[in-house]
Amino acid sequence: MNKYPLLTSPIQLGRTIFRNRMFSAPMGATDITADCSPGPRVQGFYELRARGGAAAVTVSELVVHPETDGSHMLHLDLETVGNLAAHTFVADAIRRHGAVPSIEFSHSGQYAGTYMSDKNKKDSLNQWGPSEGVRPDGRPVKGLSKEQIADIVRAYGEKAALAKRAGYEMIMVHAGHGWLLNQFLSPYFNHRTDEYGGSLENRVRIVREVLLSVRAAVGPGFPIEIRMSGSECFEGGYDLEEGVRIAQAVEDLVDLIHVSAGSYQFGFFTTHLPMFAEHGANVYLAAEIKKHVSKPVATIGALNDPAQMERILEEGQADVIYMARELLADPLLPAKVEAGTEDTIVRCLRCYTCMAERPTTFTRRCAVNPLIGRELEGMDVTPALRRKKVLVAGGGVAGLEAAITAARRGHEVILCEKSCQLGGILKSEQAIPFKYEMYRLGLSLEKQARAEGVDIRLNTLVTPEYAAAEHPDAIILAVGSRPIVPPLPGIDGENVVVVNNYYLEKEKVADTVVVLGGGLAGCECAVHLGMEGKKVHLVEMRDTLAPDCNIRHRPILMKQIETYVTAHTGLAGLKVTPEGLLCKDKDGAEVLIPGKTVVCAVGQRANRTDVDALRRCAPFVREVGDCVRPANITKAVYEGFHAALDI
């Protein structure tokens, strides 16, 4: 029985039939060459989601007018040797798996240079927008002339003809998120007094001209999609009511209206919803616009639950579901929905690892999917030449990933976990609602391991004697870490809870709390307790909170800290008392931070003693995850996956 009849039903846009309603949203390419062509890894990056069953896969972002947009994103032209061919290979790779290859046309406008690796080169660029002005970061913006506008409109058509020639079968015109077309639509950015400014009819004029230019280039029946912000979601920008009018003003020229939210400068975390937001928090925008237009509407916004997606379609809130980060976490989600194996879906954690990696290393990486950005190295787990016996010590995320991968290669795999439950440190996340997806990751990996035939042995400690009795060909050591508990007087009292045990002892936590430790784990626990209505003090010895947090997640985490927590940096804990935590500041003065409960979250220490005992118990031994060095899920998954490939 098909549990999701609407989600898995085809939809026709223009003359093109899409195999289901699950579309892969634009995500910037991973490997753009110096001349802005798709690099060799780009093909695999997009192909993986086509193989996973998405109906459409959108390549992003194509700069349509490099003369006025200096961002280092994809170009499409005939002048650059190999450029058209590279795009053709990308489109081919998507189409051969039954998905429709789409490409997003974009112009950064006044945010030109956003993705340049050399940020100093921004100073040599002209940032062009609808009107002269100054960006919020102080950079001057020049207003586009009518001649430049006409040339940009022409360029959209020129690139559309080339895109069709390369094999793309749908074009998405990006008119949202604060890029150039959105800047024209926005009363905040657009202060022109000619026919491109003022009234909505004037502000939408360039968008209509662009869509007409694209249509003239691709001909009738070729699907054209507009991506727009249903609301800019900030004071001074347009609201949903005007978003409805914008959609109505362009619907006659498009086949699909893709409704997102927010603006680059003012609403990054509205556009890319964080773990603190509800799944589908932006769906209301698409739902309202759909009431007022006759063309199909697509929605997006941290959607990863097939049941929720089906409900959105059933209730008529949208016709198409777009996913971005979720299809990095699990590119096979559409195929799993079709096959009825949705219980093995790996959910996106909304940890921003993927988005933080791009400005940091100019690649992509996913915390829960070791293939992302590395697809060129192989998208298939290849069978081993000889079946071996593999013993995995530790049932956390690294051990589970290693066991699953080794089993898929055809090995006999035994996974031993010393406790009564798999998941390792992820078990502790089940009591924090906005981190529940991390707990679910452990459950999903366990289901996958059992489905692959892994022999799971709970309450089983791997010792040298146990390993000798099993006589494995390979041992993967994933024995994890343990919480650091500083030797402070009173730390063993009844009013102290170690953060790893919070899910077991949450009833012990009083209405006033001191969290000792301002790393990522301590900060997130403090935010959770604050959200529950408790008065929370956070104590950190260093001057900076959450230095172990990635550059995308940290700013919003700090906003949550400001809202829910009183933070104290530069304080060292001295003693736990019934009244709270006695600390010492940088000048040596003692300070009492009040709280009936103290949560200890000062970090983890690798279980090196266990590693040392087992390191010579098989011909092949590999250490993975926190037992090497406590870090994060990304590292654990990647190491576990590749350890199994090396056997």
95 Cβ contact list (under 8 Å, min separation 6)? 50, 101, 167, 169
Residues 503 and 450 placed together within one structural domain of the fold: no
Residues 513 and 424 placed together within one structural domain of the fold: no
Distance between CA atoms of residues 273 and 518, nearest Å:
24
Q: DSSP of 516-535, one letter per residue?
A: E--SHHHHHHHHHHHHTT-E
Domain termination residue (choose one: 602, 619, 634): 602
**Residue 49: what pLDDT?**
96
**Residue 139: what pLDDT?**
85
In a domain, 46, yes or no: yes
10 Å CB burial of residue 328 (0-12, 13-18, 19+) is buried
In a domain, 382, yes or no: no
Residues 22 and 152 placed together within one structural domain of the fold: yes
In a domain, 140, yes or no: yes
In a domain, 488, yes or no: no
- Residue 141 contacts residue 128 (beta carbons within 8 Å): yes
In a domain, 598, yes or no: yes
What's the structural domain count of the chain?
A: 3
- Residue 219 contacts residue 213 (beta carbons within 8 Å): no
Amino acid (1-letter code) at residue 332: L
For the chain, which ranges sit under pLDDT 70? 114-125, 267
In a domain, 384, yes or no: no
**Residue 2: what pLDDT?**
85
Amino acid (1-letter code) at residue 117: S
**Residue 127: what pLDDT?**
86
- Residue 347 DSSP class: P
In a domain, 3, yes or no: no
Domain termination residue (choose one: 377, 410, 444): 377
Residues 50 and 112 placed together within one structural domain of the fold: yes
Beta bridge partners of 573: 583
Distance between CA atoms of residues 425 and 157, nearest Å:
53
**Residue 430: what pLDDT?**
94
Residues 49 and 161 placed together within one structural domain of the fold: yes
Residue with tokens 């798709």: 38
Residues 501 and 548 placed together within one structural domain of the fold: yes
CATH number at residue 190: 3.20.20.70
Residues 117 and 212 placed together within one structural domain of the fold: yes
587's tokens: 């000048």
152's tokens: 């940009």
Residues 307 and 432 placed together within one structural domain of the fold: no
CATH number at residue 470: 3.40.50.720
Residues 26 and 64 placed together within one structural domain of the fold: yes
Residues 471 and 514 placed together within one structural domain of the fold: no
* Per-residue pLDDT tens digits for 29-59: 888 998 999 998 999 999 999 999 999 999 9
**Which uninterrupted H or E stretch holds 444?**
helix 436-451
Residues 219 and 365 placed together within one structural domain of the fold: yes
In a domain, 192, yes or no: yes
Distance of CA 601 to the CA centre of its chain: 26
**Residue 122: what pLDDT?**
61
Distance between CA atoms of residues 68 and 541, nearest Å:
48
**Residue 124: what pLDDT?**
59
Q: DSSP of 255-274, one letter per residue?
A: SEEEEE--BTTT-HHHHS--
Distance between CA atoms of residues 321 and 24, nearest Å:
9
| Domain hosting residue 464, numbered range | 389-483+606-645
Residues 640 and 523 placed together within one structural domain of the fold: no
